[in-house]
Structure 1
Amino acid sequence: MDALPQRKIALSTGITLNIAEAGDAQNPPIIFLHGFPESHRTWRHQFNEFSNKYHVIAPDQRGFAGSDKPQNAAQYKVQHLVGDIIALADALGLDKFILCGHDWGGAVAWAATLTCPDRVEKLVIANAPHPFTYQKSLFDDLEQRAAAQYITAFRNPQFEKYVAQKGWEAYFQENFADHVEGGVPDGEREIYLSQWRQQGCFTAMMNWYRASKIIVPPMPDSGEPMPERPAYLDAPFMKVAMPTLLIWAMDDHALKPSLLHGLDELIDDLTLVKLSGGHFVPWENHDAVTRAMQDWLK
């Protein structure tokens, strides 16, 4: 287990983020964004590998690990999450940067790229669906819809009580570790659990799901009414203009291969690399992810 150099930085958004940072500030910058239920450590292998040629920054996003944890779900709307990343870049004096995101970090990276294209020079995504294809698949692909029903559970205001009754260790094992191919690496389990146990942390992490506008329709046999299909799914969608590397681990239980369909129509300059491994590919198959990034960035 490698401890990364960290410091806290207060942002113009009113949030203080804990960030890992290394490399010469004169080198090209890369900002790495983690997802649920992790921290800056998601990208620890790539962080160390790229720090000799790049200025690497990996924040704990708001609500996670060492960063501020507002408790109001509205404070996790996507505009606030993107605002943190742009404010972080501003605070570090970064005009343009390479942006890398996994899981929820990928969702923020997609949104930042679409709304602030003048700031993102290149985009790297690991197992995080494009917002259009994800919402579309939740209506049109029953396999993906079934895989996303956990989001509805997370949005339940009683979910934290359920986890407390189950116990942290049991919840960690059944709902996280058991779904990681090869298990969680030695030394990392206690890091996760110590972060989750922080005051307000678990609710803050759930609030990412509660604030999201993603609609998760019920399964056909649930007896629940089908929500209205968003009109934008049947209209042209804004394109991603900058070079984009999409790394996709094909054994992801939560995100199905149908999410890769139609991306050529949404991204002008797309490189797709398919890998073996599960959802947490930045560390489950870290050597392959690092090689894919190195080859592409050349």
Structure 2
Amino acid sequence: MQVVTHDSITLYVEEVGVGTPILFIHEFGGNHASWEPQMRGFSRRHRCISYAARGYPPSDVPSDLEAYSQAIAAQDALAVLDGLGIDKAHVVGLSMGGFTALHLGLLAPERVLSLTVAGAGYGCEKEHEQYFREVSLAVADNFERLGAEAFAPVYAEGASRVQFQNKDPRGWREFAERLGTHSDLGAALTMRGVQARRPSFVDMSEQLAEMYCPTLVMVGDEDDHCLQPGIFLKKTLPACGLAILPKTGHTLNLEEPALFNALLGEFLVQVEAGRWECRDPRALPGQIMRTGEEGAA
């Protein structure tokens, strides 16, 4: 199945199941097929949609850098919903897809039933922001110079990917081999146009503080550069829950599919029951214990 974006880019889409829609948005190192454990699990009771982002075959691979940005990625997600005639959906994103999910929530909150933001945060730590941008450009150069097939094994053994390799060598190998089939040009331009230029969560704090969409943030405890951004989202978003997965890296949905699906499933049940609410105003962040003297003159 295909949909066409606002700037005439064709995106490849897969869907399965019936029920309340869930839109899955993949990470930089994945593609539409990366959500297979979730598509199989949640299609038993939901309409599940996954798509290949622009730059990821079989979607189109624009050759112009300016065809890639965080804002465009959010518009593409909206185009998928429009193309399938979906009014509202639960939106689940991993890493780059988690950023897109958040930006979709800001762009079109009326189209979002809930947000799940998993493994998102690279580049958001102000002290590491410049390093992230520099290493993103270096990674882009390697995809372009060496090619995805040659560079994939290097990228796939990053500090937050080896956890997956150690736990599930077969699953990690599938991930690395899939990464090796990516478009050399698409990967390079996505890294330069989306990853290296997107704003930090910190720079979006005022907007995020006004976004009341039910949100679940998931982070692996060994995904070091997503931990603090995850806590930041928990403290900033009014209706946000935070799940930290133990002994887990970046590729959450593939590394720990059973736990990921269980957490996501419980979250969706609570949202649909109207029970995932904003934080109780009595839960004051600065209070440790109550003495009964609060508010006294």
Q: What TM-score do the two structures reach when normalised by structure 2?
A: 0.77
Give the Cα separation in 1 of the matches to 2:82 and 2:65: 25
Q: Is the 8 A contact 2:143 2:185 kept in 1?
A: no
Q: CA RMSD, aligned part only? A: 2.8
Matching residue's letter, 1:99: V
1:187–1:234 CA distance, 2 compared to 1 (3 A): closer
Once the two structures are TM-superposed, the CA of residue 237 in structure 1 deviates from its matched residue by 4.1
Note if 1:287 corresponds to 2:272.
no
Q: Secondary structure at the match of 2:238?
A: coil
| 1:8 pairs with one of 2, 12, 22 | 2
Aligned residue number for residue 168 of structure 1: 149
Give the Cα separation in 1 of the matches to 2:15 and 2:205: 41
1:286–1:67 CA distance, 2 compared to 1 (3 A): same
CA-to-aligned-CA distance 1:209-264 (integer Å, 9 cap, x gap): 4662447xxxxxxxxxxxxxx9x8598444221111111111114x2422233434
Q: Secondary structure at the match of 1:66?
A: coil
Note if 1:74 corresponds to 2:66.
yes
Give the Cα separation in 2 of the matches to 1:57 and 1:281: 18
| 1:296 pairs with one of 259, 267, 272 | 267
Q: Is the 8 A contact 1:151 1:209 kept in 2?
A: no
Q: Secondary structure at the match of 1:118?
A: helix
Once the two structures are TM-superposed, the CA of residue 291 in structure 1 deviates from its matched residue by 0.3
The equivalences for 1:43-82 within 5 A come to 43-82=35-74
1:234–1:77 CA distance, 2 compared to 1 (3 A): closer
Note if 1:201 corresponds to 2:182.
no
Give the Cα separation in 2 of the matches to 1:101 and 1:172: 22
Give the Cα separation in 2 of the matches to 1:273 and 1:59: 25
Once the two structures are TM-superposed, the CA of residue 173 in structure 1 deviates from its matched residue by 2.1
Any stretches of 5+ residues in structure 2 without a counterpart?
Answer: 270-297
Once the two structures are TM-superposed, the CA of residue 36 in structure 1 deviates from its matched residue by 0.8
Q: Secondary structure at the match of 1:98?
A: strand
Q: What TM-score do the two structures reach when normalised by structure 1?
A: 0.77
| 1:249 pairs with one of 213, 220, 223 | 220
Give the Cα separation in 2 of the matches to 1:18 and 1:236: 34
1:279–1:83 CA distance, 2 compared to 1 (3 A): same
Q: Secondary structure at the match of 2:36?
A: helix
Matching residue's letter, 1:121: L
Give the Cα separation in 2 of the matches to 1:246 and 1:210: 19
Once the two structures are TM-superposed, the CA of residue 175 in structure 1 deviates from its matched residue by 2.3
1:190–1:116 CA distance, 2 compared to 1 (3 A): same
Give the Cα separation in 2 of the matches to 1:58 and 1:65: 13
Q: Is the 8 A contact 2:32 2:52 kept in 1?
A: yes
The equivalences for 1:13-32 within 5 A come to 13-24=7-18, 27-32=19-24
Once the two structures are TM-superposed, the CA of residue 174 in structure 1 deviates from its matched residue by 2.4
Note if 1:103 corresponds to 2:103.
no
Any stretches of 5+ residues in structure 1 without a counterpart?
Answer: 1-6, 140-144, 216-229
Percent of residue pairs identical: 21
